[in-house]
Amino acid sequence: MTDTTELRPRKLFIKTYGCQMNVYDSDRMADALAPHGYEPTPVIDDADLVVLNTCHIREKASEKVFSELGRLAELRREGGRDFTIGVAGCVAQAEGEEIARRSKAVDLVFGPQSYHRLPELLSRVRRGTPVVETEFPEEDKFEHLPLAQKQVIRSRGLTAFLTVQEGCDKFCSFCVVPYTRGAETSRPLEQVLTEARRLIEAGVRELTLLGQNVNAYHGLDAAGRSVGLGELCARLAEIEGLARLRYTTSHPSDMTDELIAAHRDNDKLMPYLHLPVQSGSDAILKVMNRRHTRADYLRTIERIKAARPDVALSGDFIVGFPGETDADFEQTLSIVREVGYASAFTFKYSIRPGTPGADMDGQVEEAVKTERLARLNELVTAQMRGFARACVGRTLDVLLDKPGRLPGQLGGRSPYLQAVHLEASADLIGTVQPVLIVGAGNNSIEGKIVTHAERNPASVLESQELAAI
């Protein structure tokens, strides 16, 4: 019998946990492996290589990895099929060897800075001792990661992520990111533009620029000059075919005048901004080492709204940080009421070993965290629904990006990232249409296409209306 294993295309299954940066990274790992014969599969049972791209941000997220590794070990033992198991992402970076010690099934552990070395790392994998690669290499991984083929980009949809900045120097006292993703680095301007052109030529209409601290972006241009995020957005907006730009996640202290001006001047930049504050209490912001006060944050929002009155905000909030009193928590509720969020992500503080918060006095009891989270969630859910209802009767520009749930329907995204359903013919996929919003559900809004002439003049949400929600 002839051995055909070498000729058979190998199948890759990546399971992605956590943030959008991991989603982007998973695609780049697939791109790195494509020239080596690996094809993505959505079916884990078909895979020759399973990669878990992990998240370390909260304890629950990290622990999921170990239960998944247990399941994979069993699948390999009992399924009668051999496959390679790799662990990537922030748990890999933070725990390295420890993962291999805790789970004997793991063949390869590799951190986010080594993704370009994946083919070589795989060739080093032999059953026995796992390969662990968590160094921060000298070379720029992005220089060595191949760009995706156009048909692969197309298969991923009309919106795409593009990482422009990695790492963080802020050292908020609850956060593992400065340790797992390292110091802040920005990709050079031309490198970002090249990747963006490739995505847009393949049909991408909306780009979301990513970074753990994306608004600290300061990439070098060809002349060696440092370029900020506002200028990067201006250069990207010049690319024909690009309809929309977004960026996430931002730190309030890095909302420079230049970037705020871009919200006024760059009409491809969507009026929707994720700007986490974490807490509304100055005492807690201080121990969190956020480097800004409640008043600083509110002033920043005023500046943004002055530049772009229809901007809507989303935020992240942590309840139960060490030392948080009832009064501090009330301050968080009050900042949420004062700002009026279109969307919000809320978390119970989770102790992360190695971060300053882990050793602080005044750890808050779990039951108190649970109760505070429920109260905060009630408020932000009401705001999210209120925001969706406030869109009814207005005309929003919607990027139609996919077929809808029913025949004759399409799905799209509003400027505020809401899922929109409407009736329209499939040839409109990839276009931006003015859509009169006629209904708001819990997870999506409904609308109908109107002509530009019919546009409701009240097409934008004014800042004072938002704050009143």
Q: Which is nearer to ligand 5AD, 85 or 318 (CB)?
A: 318
CA 82/CA 104 separation, integer angstroms: 14
Residues 6 or more apart whose CB falls under 8 angstroms from that of 119 comprise: 32, 33, 35, 36
CB of 143 to ligand 5AD, least distance (A): 28
C-beta pairs of 280-283 under 8 Å, 24+ apart in sequence: 280/331, 280/332, 280/333, 280/334, 280/335, 280/336, 281/324, 281/327, 281/328, 281/329, 281/331, 281/332, 282/331, 283/323, 283/328
CA 153/CA 203 separation, integer angstroms: 8
CB of 163 to ligand 5AD, least distance (A): 15
CB of 300 to ligand 5AD, least distance (A): 16
Among 202, 227, 318, 390, binds ligand 5AD (CB under 6 A): 318
The total number of residues shown for the chain amounts to 469
Q: Which is nearer to ligand SF4, 38 or 217 (CB)?
A: 217
The contact set with ligand SF4 (CB under 6 A) reads 168, 170-172, 175, 177-178, 212-213, 251
- Write out the binding residues for ligand 5AD, residues 237-296 only, by CB under 6 A: 276, 278
CB of 206 to ligand SF4, least distance (A): 24
321 binds, among ligand 5AD, ligand SF4, none (CB under 5 to 8 A by kind): none
Region near ligand 5AD per CB under 6 A, out of 65-73, 186-194, 306-314, 344-352: 344-352
347 binds, among ligand SF4, ligand 5AD, none (CB under 5 to 8 A by kind): ligand 5AD
Strands (E), 235-301: 244-248, 272-274
Q: Which is nearer to ligand SF4, 224 or 353 (CB)?
A: 353
When asked if residue 216 is in the footprint of ligand 5AD (CB under 6 A), the reply is no
213 binds, among ligand 5AD, ligand SF4, none (CB under 5 to 8 A by kind): ligand SF4
352 binds, among ligand SF4, ligand 5AD, none (CB under 5 to 8 A by kind): ligand 5AD
Among 28, 263, 352, 421, binds ligand 5AD (CB under 6 A): 352
CB of 390 to ligand SF4, least distance (A): 29
Q: Chain-centre distance of CA 94, in angstroms?
A: 20
Count Cα atoms within 13 angstroms, Cβ side, for 149: 8
The single-letter DSSP state of residue 97 is H
Assigned token pair, 342: 């279109």
168 binds, among ligand SF4, ligand 5AD, none (CB under 5 to 8 A by kind): ligand SF4
- Position with the least CB separation from ligand 5AD: 316
142 binds, among ligand SF4, ligand 5AD, none (CB under 5 to 8 A by kind): none
Strand pairing report for 395-403 and 409-413: antiparallel
Report yes or no: 228 and 191 within 8 Å, Cβ to Cβ.
no
Find tokens 């409701």 and name the residue. 456
Q: How far is CA 289 from CA 172, 253, 257, 292, in A?
A: 5, 12, 23, 8
Footprint of ligand 5AD (CB under 6 A)? 57-58, 174-175, 276, 278, 316, 318, 347, 349-350, 352
